[in-house]
């Protein structure tokens, strides 16, 4: 068994155990809802981790894709009379297409330029959902009908906990497969040296576009699930702050680490809930916590702790 296969099994196993244990420890509806939010955010963060951590391409407008998934899930039933699940899948597809079309010109940019271009994309999506009041409901948001599968009304925090958990497990499995494949190695290679990657026969532009589309699909899927869970969508889902939150999840968990994206998503989703205890100061404390994490675990939580652990074992 290769080291990659071993760590793949370890992560998926840990995640599966976690999915089973959390409801036993925190059985309240509130806790299960927060956990479902963690799984959803983790799905979006995973996609971004592939884009940023694996391939080294930044996106500061990723909430735009989250919003496309969320709004498609809301708009399909409202305007076209479509099934919410079908609408969500259409939204995921649309996000992929948009990423493909937009990615071609903007992925030629590097570093800060790419960051600003993706930022623009995110702001554009936000602008559309806020201003197209007749279609999207504007700043007031829009309701999402209840999901009904084969006559079964999908309700209850336990059910949504399970659904989002299973989707996360699948999303993690797919991300890990990608990482340990020819394409995954090509993405990691172009992260370190685009020149050497190209000379090794890697079509750099094509691979960047591919991972951008994958990241958009992950985000749109998360957005759709979020809409179905909350049964309501507001332009907040597309906001710049959302994009930054997603980037922070990836960075704080550890760039280039699939497990890190999940840990980062969990931290940034759960911490604000815990910090309500501080009332007016919760944002300040959250900010301070992020700064401290970055100071003491510079590479992010998962790689940072793994490094400490390895050093401890050698000593």
**Min separation Cβ 214 and other proteins, Å:** 8
Q: Which of residues 124 and 308 has its CB atom nearest to other proteins in the complex?
A: 308
Q: Which of 127, 113, 129, 122 is nearest to 243 (CA)?
A: 122
Assess 140 for contact with other proteins (CB under 8 A).
no
Residue 168, Cβ density class (10 Å: 0-12 exposed, 13-18 middle, ≥19 buried):
buried
Q: Which of residues 50 and 237 has its CB atom nearest to other proteins in the complex?
A: 50
**Min separation Cβ 203 and other proteins, Å:** 5
**Min separation Cβ 180 and other proteins, Å:** 7
**Min separation Cβ 254 and other proteins, Å:** 12
Residue 111: HSE in the Cβ half-sphere, 13 Å Cα cutoff: 2
Q: To 10 degrees, what angle do helices 282-296 and 258-274 make? A: 150
H or E element in which residue 9 lies: helix 3-25
Q: Which of 41, 63, 72, 119 is nearest to 227 (CA)?
A: 72
Assess 12 for contact with other proteins (CB under 8 A).
no
Assess 134 for contact with other proteins (CB under 8 A).
no
Residue count, binding to other proteins (CB under 8 A)? 31
Given 31, 33, 104, 185, the residue binding other proteins (CB under 8 A):
185
Q: Which of 174, 156, 141, 204 is nearest to 50 (CA)?
A: 174
**Min separation Cβ 23 and other proteins, Å:** 28
CB 165 within 8 A of CB 107: no
Query: Which residues inside 146-175 make contact with other proteins, applying CB under 8 A?
Result: 173-174
Assess 256 for contact with other proteins (CB under 8 A).
yes
Assess 231 for contact with other proteins (CB under 8 A).
no
**Min separation Cβ 199 and other proteins, Å:** 5
Assess 77 for contact with other proteins (CB under 8 A).
no
DSSP string, 190-236: HHH-HHHHHHTT--HHHHHHHHHHHHHHHHHHHHHHHHHHHSEE-GG
Token pair recorded at residue 123: 């702001």
Given 112, 182, 277, 295, the residue binding other proteins (CB under 8 A):
182
Q: Rule CB under 8 A: which residues touch other proteins? A: 2-3, 173-174, 176-178, 180-186, 188-189, 191-193, 195-204, 210, 256
């Amino acid at each position: 068994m290769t080291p990659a296969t071993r760590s793949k099994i370890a992560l998926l196993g840990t995640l599966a155990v976690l999915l089973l244990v959390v409801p036993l420890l925190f059985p309240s509806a509130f806790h299960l809802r927060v956990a479902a939010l963690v799984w959803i955010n983790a799905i979006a963060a995973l996609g971004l981790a592939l884009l940023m951590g694996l391939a080294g391409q930044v996106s500061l407008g990723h909430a735009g894709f989250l919003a496309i998934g969320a709004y498609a899930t809301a708009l399909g039933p409202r305007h076209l009379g479509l099934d919410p699940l079908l609408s969500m899948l259409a939204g995921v597809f649309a996000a992929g297409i948009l990423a493909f079309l937009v990615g071609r010109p903007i992925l030629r940019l590097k570093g800060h330029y790419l960051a600003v271009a993706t930022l623009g994309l995110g702001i554009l999506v936000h602008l559309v959902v806020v201003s197209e009041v007749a279609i999207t409901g504007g700043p007031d948001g829009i309701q999402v009908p209840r999901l009904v599968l084969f006559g079964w009304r999908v309700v209850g925090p336990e059910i949504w906990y399970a659904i989002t958990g299973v989707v996360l497990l699948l999303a993690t499995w797919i991300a890990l497969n990608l990482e340990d494949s020819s394409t995954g190695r090509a993405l990691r290679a172009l992260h370190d040296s685009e020149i050497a990657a190209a000379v090794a026969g890697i079509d750099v532009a094509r691979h960047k576009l591919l991972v951008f589309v994958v990241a958009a699909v992950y985000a749109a899927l998360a957005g759709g699930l979020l809409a179905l869970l909350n049964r309501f969508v507001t332009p907040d889902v597309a906001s710049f702050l959302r994009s930054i939150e997603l980037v922070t999840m990836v960075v704080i968990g550890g760039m280039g680490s699939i497990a890190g994206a999940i840990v980062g998503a969990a931290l940034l989703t759960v911490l604000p809930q815990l910090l309500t205890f501080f009332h007016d100061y919760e944002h300040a404390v959250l900010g301070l916590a992020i700064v401290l994490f970055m100071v003491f675990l510079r590479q992010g939580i998962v790689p940072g702790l793994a490094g400490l652990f390895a050093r401890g074992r050698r000593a």
